[in-house]
Amino acid sequence: MICFVPMGVPFDPVFKAANEWHGLPIWVHTFEPSKMVDIRDLAYLVQKNPNVPVIFGHLGGLNWLDTINLTKDIDNAFLDTSAVYTVFALTLAMKELPDRTLFSSDHPYGDPYLAKIAVQRCAPSKEVERRVLGETIAELLEI
């Protein structure tokens, strides 16, 4: 189970509940209308709650480069590849956070098949490809 949270929702009760559920992963929408200041605020809360895995949805949107740099050193921060609009962002995410990048697509706006092909073409290794395409989320969800 993952808790989906749009930006603008008060996060303290969400993190409190996620902690009570023994580290329930939280997925947060970080594309527009979210701004980099919102993503920085979220990163601060993620650091304050090290037992709660937080998935930065859409790789930070237009702020993908800053989001990748910001989350590199936060062990419980994950990146979701849905709505990635440049393969450079996808490639860099898999290079910088190979164990914390999660495959996703933004269907019906994105094509899951093309998103999968992009991961397969851009992954730096077969191991990273496997992790991104399912192993990491399986570990995160303990399935």
Write out pLDDT tens, residues 93-119: 999 999 999 999 988 888 999 999 999
Give pTM, 2 decimals.
Answer: 0.91
Fill in the DSSP letter of residue 131: I
Please write the tens of the pLDDT for every residue from 25-52: 999 999 988 899 999 999 999 999 999 9
CA distance linking residue 11 with residue 26, whole number of Å: 10
CA distance linking residue 31 with residue 81, whole number of Å: 11
Note the pLDDT of residue 9.
61
Above 50 in pLDDT, residue 141? yes
Note the pLDDT of residue 8.
61
Residues found in the chain = 143
